[in-house]
Amino acid sequence: MEEVSVSTAARSFVLAFDTANEVIALGLGLLDADRSAVTVVASAEVEARRASNTQLVPRIDRLCAEAGAARDEIACVVVGRGPGSFTGVRIALATAKGIASALGAALVGVSSLDAVAWGLWDAGLRGTGAVVADAMRREVYPVRFSLTDDGAVRLTADRVVKAAEAAEELAAGGPADFVAGDGLRKYGDLFAGAGPFAPEDRWAPTGCGLLQAVQAAWRAGQCDPLDARRHDPGLLLPVYTRLSDAEENERQRLARADDALAGKRGSKHVTMNDTAIANARANGEGIAYKPLDARHGADVAALEAAVMGTDAWSEALVVDELGRVDRVWWAAYAADPKMPLTADAPLVGYAGGWVVDGDVQILKVGVDPAWRRHGIARALLARVADDARNLGARTCSLEVRAANAGAQALYGALGLTVAGKRPRYYSDGEDAVIMTGPLPTLALAALPNGEPAAPAPASEPGPGTAPSGGIPEGEAVAAMRPLILAIESSCDETAAAVIDGTGALRSDVVATQVDFHARFGGVVPEIASRKHIEAICGVCDEALDRAAESLGCAALAWRDLDAVAVTYAPGLVGALVVGVAFAKGAAWGADLPFIVVNHLEGHLYANKIGLEDFAPPAVVSLVSGGNTMLVYMAGWGDYRVLGATIDDAVGEAFDKVAKALGLGYPGGPVVSKFAAEGDPAAISFPRAMLHSGDLRFSLSGLKTAVVTYINNEREAGRPLNVPDICASFTAAVVDVQVAKARTALEKTGAPTFCLGGGVAANPTLRAAYERLCAELGVRLVMPPLASCGDNAGMIAEVALDRYRAGAFSPLSTDAAAHGDLEQPY
C-alpha cells in the first residue's frame, strides 16, 4: 500500500494495531470514495519490550493526532488476534474492545501471522514460505503462506508444535522461498536449513500488514469493516492454540483410568479419599458438567448403546479418545445442587469433538432420554466448543440423521446451517445431514449484584435528547453528574457499575467465573484472564443499559459518561490487565478522564453502599481470599495498616480446608454451611498469634493443623465428622479475628468498626463482630452480603471521590499485582 496525504474534512478511518509480540504495530487507513478499499495513511512499529500496556493507547493517540484523524472519524478498529504472547494478545484485544465499544465502531480481528505475511508481501517478497512465531516452551506457531502478485494466501491453519518438529516439517517439504517470524530469534539455528530468512525488521506484524490483511478479508467477503452489528466487539476472541496448563494437566490425569471423579460421601459422618476429589457442583437443575474421565468410559458406552443403536461406540473407543491432544470430551452428571459431585453420580450426557484445521467436528452428543429437555446437549456442546476454541477452532461441523428433526432444530438454534448430505452414512442406511456454523458460546453466570437496578420513574425525552437516545440534559440530569462507569477484574469476577453524582449506584453488574475454576479447587489465573476477555463487553453493556433504565432515559452511551474508572491493583496481573486495557481504550475512544482505583480501598468503600452516612474514623477488618488485615481509616484516602497476615489469607485457608474435606470450591460458603451443624468446641485447633502482642495474623499453621487432623483420622480408619471439623476450624479463625479487632478498637479509640472482603459474608464472623461491638459500644457497619465479594459498585464509590478530587491518571497507566493501601496513588 502506498502512503498518502489526507486533507479532506470528511474522512472515514480504519485504525489497526497489534501487540502479539515485543513490537507494537500501528496502522491508520482511509476508506476510499466508494468505501470499498483502504489506503494507508500512517503506520508505525515500536519496540515494546513487555511494555505494550503502557505504550499502546498513547501511541494510538499520537498516530491519530499526527494524521489529523479525529476519534469520531474512525469507522472500524482492526486488531491482531494472535497467536502470540497470551498477555500481549489480550492487551491489544481488550484495548480494541474498549475503543470500538466507546466509538460504536466495528471491531474486526485478523491473524497476527497473516499480518506478518501481508507485511512481507507489501515489502515485495514473493514465493512460498512460512511465518514462525514464538510460542514459548520451545514451541512455535508455524503457518505456511504463498505470496503471489495477487496477495498473501494462507496454506495451513494455526497450531502450536515443538520448534524442532516445525523445522523438520518445513525442511521436509523442500527449500522454502522465505522464513520469517519472531520465533527465529530463539530458534534460528533449527530453521537455518529451511530456507532464506526474511529481513528481521519484517518478522513481526506491521501496520501496513494489518490493513492489507483486513482489506483482503473484506474483498473475500469474510468481513465488512463498515458493519458494526456484524462485528460487535463482544464477539471477538483471541486466537489460542492450546488449553491452559491447568486444563492440559487435568486432561492428562482424567485420561488415566486409575483417577476417580470424586470422593465418596456418606451422611453426616464422611469418609473421603483425598486423592479422588472433584470440585464440580450441580446447577439449579441438578446437573454437573465436567471433562469426561476414563473411569466413566463404560458409562458412556452403555448410554451410547441405548441412544445410538448400531452406531454406538465401545468403551475402548471412547477411552482411546481421551488421551488425544486434538480431542475434547465433556460429560454431564446428575447430582445434588447443594453438594460436590461424587464418584457414583450417574452420567446423563456426553459430547466429544475433534479439532482439525480450525474446525471442531462434533463426534458424539448423547443424552439420557430421562434427562432430555434440561438443556444438557446445548450446555455440553458449548463446553466442547469453548475448549475447541482454545485449541484453535473457529468453526463447528457435525453430521445428524436426516430424520432427527429435533436435533437439527437444536443445532440450527446454535447457528449451524445445512451444508450438504452424506447418503447412506449410518449403519442402517439412513442419510446424514451435514451442518456447519460458528462455535456455540458459553456465558458466565450472573451474581446477585447483577439483578437490575430499581428504575427511576420514566421520563419523556427532552429537547436535548440525542437521536440515539442519549441523556436529555436538563436541571435534573445535571444534578446527577458526574456519571462514572467503573470496572473490576482483579480476580475471577468481571464487573461493571455506573454511579451518579449523588452517590447512587445506577447499576452494578457482576459475572462470575466460579464454575470454570471450581473443578481445579481454586482460581486459575490463565483461565481468569481468558474469561475476562470474553465477558467484559457484555458486562459493561449491561451496566450501561441498566443505568439508562434507572435514569429514565432511552439509552446511555459511553460519551454520555463523565469518566471511566477501573481497578488497577492489587490482584492477578493477567486479570487486571484486561480491565485496565479495556478501560483505557474506552476512555480514549469516548474522550473521557481515566481513573484508577486500588482494589483494597474499594472494599473499604463498600461499607458506603446502602449506608451513605458512613464515614471515618473507623477500624476495618479486611478479610478475603487474598488479604487479611486490620486497617485504621483516619479519613477517606488516609489509611494505616495496623496488622496483616504473614502467610495465608482467611479466604485461602477456608478454600484449602474445604479442598482437604472434598467439599469443593469456593470453600467459604460450604464450610459455613457445615459449620452451622457442628460443635465449635469439638476439636481444639490452634489460635495462631492470638497472644502475639501485635495485630498480625497467621493462618498457615491452622490450615496445616486441620489438614493433618483430617489425614490422621483417615489413616486411622475413622469417619470424619465434617460439621464438627468445619465448626471447630471456623471458631479458631473467628476467635483470633475478634481478639485482634478488640485490640485495634481499644488502641485507636475508633467509634466505628466495619468489614470488607468476601469473608465478611461469613455468618459466624458477622455474628461475633456484632457481639464485640455491642460489648464495646462501637457502631458496627457491614456491607450488604452482595457487596462483600469483588464488585464494581465499590470501585465506583472510590472513583466518584477521586473524580471530585481531580485524581485522573494517564493512559500509560499499567496494572500492578501489588498495591500499598497506605500510599497515595
CB 192 within 8 A of CB 13: no
Per-residue pLDDT, averaged over 363-387, amounts to 93
Residue 698 has pLDDT above 90, yes or no: yes
Quickly state the pLDDT bin for 223 (edges 50, 70, 90): confident
Q: Please state the pTM of the whole predicted model.
A: 0.89
- Beta strand pairing status for 359-367 and 395-401? parallel
Quickly state the pLDDT bin for 477 (edges 50, 70, 90): low
Tell me the range of 6-10, 47-51, 275-279, 641-645 where mean pLDDT is highest.
Answer: 641-645
Alpha carbons 236 and 425: distance in angstroms, whole number: 35
Q: What is the pLDDT of residues 732-756, one digit of tens each?
A: 999 999 999 999 999 999 999 999 9
First to last CA, the chain: 45
Percentage helix, strand, coil for the chain under 3-state DSSP, each rounded to 5: 40, 25, 40
pLDDT at 257: 63
pLDDT at 465: 31
pLDDT at 611: 84
Alpha carbons 725 and 576: distance in angstroms, whole number: 36
pLDDT at 610: 78
pLDDT at 444: 62
Residue 117 has pLDDT above 90, yes or no: yes
Per-residue pLDDT, averaged over 619-642, amounts to 94
Per-residue pLDDT, averaged over 81-89, amounts to 94
pLDDT at 284: 62
DSSP H or E run through 720 = strand 720-721
Quickly state the pLDDT bin for 256 (edges 50, 70, 90): confident
pLDDT at 48: 86
Give residue limits of the domains in the chain: 1-239, 245-250+281-394, 448-598, 618-783
16-30, 147-161, 360-374, 443-457: least confidently modelled range: 443-457
Based on its alpha-carbon atoms, the radius of gyration of the chain, rounded to whole angstroms, reads 28
Q: Is 1-239's fold the same as 245-250+281-394's?
A: no
The CATH class that applies to domain 245-250+281-394 reads alpha beta
Q: Could you please report the per-residue DSSP string of 142-207?
A: EEEEEEETTEEEE-S----EEHHHHHHHHHHT---SEEESTHHHHHTTTTTTTSPBPPGGGSS--H
Residues forming the annotated binding site for substrate?
622-626, 655, 668, 762
Residue 187 has pLDDT above 50, yes or no: yes
Per-residue pLDDT, averaged over 668-685, amounts to 94
DSSP H or E run through 23 = strand 23-31
Residue 280 has pLDDT above 80, yes or no: no
Q: Could you please report the per-residue DSSP string of 486-529?
A: EEE-SSSEEEEEEE-TTS-EEEEEEEE-HHHHHTTTS--HHHHH
Q: Which of 3.40.50.410, 3.30.420.40, 1.10.10.60, 3.40.50.720 is the CATH number of 448-598? A: 3.30.420.40
pLDDT at 32: 84
Residue 447 has pLDDT above 70, yes or no: no
Quickly state the pLDDT bin for 281 (edges 50, 70, 90): low
Residue 191 has pLDDT above 90, yes or no: yes
149-158, 402-411, 605-614: least confidently modelled range: 605-614
Query: For the domain bounded by 618-783, which CATH number is listed?
Result: 3.30.420.40
Cell numbers for 619, please give them: 477500624
Quickly state the pLDDT bin for 469 (edges 50, 70, 90): very low
Residues forming the annotated binding site for Fe cation?
599, 603, 790
Q: What is the pLDDT of residues 337-352, one digit of tens each?
A: 666 667 778 999 999 9
238-252, 403-417, 456-470, 630-644: least confidently modelled range: 456-470
Q: What is the pLDDT of residues 481-539, one digit of tens each?
A: 999 999 999 999 999 999 999 999 999 999 999 888 888 888 999 999 999 999 999 99
pLDDT at 226: 85
- Beta strand pairing status for 779-781 and 752-756? parallel
Please state which architecture CATH assigns to domain 1-239.
2-Layer Sandwich (3.30)
Residue 33 has pLDDT above 80, yes or no: no
120-124, 358-362, 453-457, 515-519: least confidently modelled range: 453-457
Q: What percent of the chain has pLDDT over 90?
A: 74
pLDDT at 340: 64
Burial class (CB within 10 angstroms; exposed 0-12, middle 13-18, buried 19+) of 356:
middle
pLDDT at 440: 84
Residue 468 has pLDDT above 90, yes or no: no
28-42, 673-687, 734-748: least confidently modelled range: 28-42
